[in-house]
Amino acid sequence: MDFELTDEQRQIRTTLAEFAENEIKPHAAKWDKEESFPRHVVEKIGELGFLGVAFPEKYGGGGADTLSQVIVVEGLARYDAGVALACAAHMSLSSGHIAMFAAEEHRAHYLPDMIAAKKLGGWCLTEPSSGSDAAAMKTRAVRSGDNFTINGAKMFITNGGVADVYVVMTITDSASGRSGVSAFIVDRGTRGLSNGRRIEKLGLRSSDTAEVIFENVTVPARNLIGELGAGYRQTLAVLEGGRIGIAGWAAGIARGAMEDAAAYAKQRRQVGQAIADFQAIQWMIADMATRIEASWVLTCRAAALRDAGKPFAREASMAKLYASETAMWSTIKAVQIHGGYGYVTDFPVERYMRDAKLAEIGEGTSEVQRMIIAKSILRDGYLPP
């Protein structure tokens, strides 16, 4: 399998890096400190076409492959994981759900503005009392004539307080378990839709995370995405694809930590020489680079399988699991290489470490990924790639 980037993919990476160096890097620490979401930057990312690289051209997208979208997320995460997460959730989850499963009238109506970042998306699955177990949700949608009325609350929603378009998972048939889950499109401004508190977080503080509350929110029945009761299957498919993006996101954080640690080690001197000359530092950098490279190969393989129309759930979980734990490990080592300076906000590595932790939690915890991988092997066996 050839993992060499195409000329187009290299151009995406180069252009994005130039943008991030100028528009994100100088401001990331301030956004983190102030917990401010830089919507204007996300809008610029959309204007440059990065949010639509993998979407069909007829909606304003670039018509590229999954890996091209991963390159965007990875490249943003290298500089600010919060901004990258906002874009990843917008692309992979909300826009992606509509692109994969909504009726053509909804694709044509929503996707052009979402690809251009004129409208931001939020994907509403998690609730105060349910996370990975989507069937345990309590949000209900009850039909009345040509409408559905939604009641409930969603928690930890990325872009939850700033989104213009929400994809909302609900229970439409409580007696049918997972087969009773349905997804709806809900526009901001719909009566009864509101936000609870904006959630303060350990990291990713430039990403907006909020509660989304539904109090007798009435939407037309045509806002149902796909068939009634298909929401759980849709959710699994969306998450499988999203995990490839999160693997790239985690790899971007790890790369940022490694590059900053290597640069610091070359200029920081002790007993008359750069600490980069010390074997202990070199081994940490070597291990970081190796784990990042392995994360990228796993991510590329999952992306290639998806684009080839082959099963990729196990490979996506492997990529997400390994890359997320690599991000956590690498950022800890980056802080260690910086010594005391790694523990203060003068350098970005402490922010990388705080940001990286969510990679082991969001879109299915590391424990959930291990369950998926193990069940797949026990069911289907294991054949080397």
363 carries an active-site annotation: yes
Instruction: Map tokens 């990331």 to a residue.
Output: 28
Residues 6+ apart with CB under 8 A from 357: 202, 203, 328
DSSP-assigned states of every residue in 359-383: GGTTTS-HHHHHHHHHHHHHHH---
C-beta of residue 77 within 8 angstroms of C-beta of residue 250: yes
Closest CA to 126 of 368, 383, 371: 368
DSSP-assigned states of every residue in 4-54: PPPHHHHHHHHHHHHHHHHHTTTTHHHHHHHT---HHHHHHHHHTTGGGTT
Residues 6+ apart with CB under 8 A from 308: none
Closest CA to 192 of 146, 228, 148: 148
Partners of 96 in beta bridges:
none
Structure tokens at 239: 């998450």
Q: Which of 127, 211, 350, 363 is catalytic?
A: 363
- For 82-92, b/e burial (b = at least 16 CB within 10 A) is bbbbbbbbbbb
- Beta strands at 121-124 and 165-171: parallel, antiparallel or unpaired: parallel
Question: Cα(326)–Cα(356) distance, rounded to whole angstroms?
Answer: 9
C-beta of residue 292 within 8 angstroms of C-beta of residue 359: no
Structure tokens at 51: 């949010």
Active site residues: 363
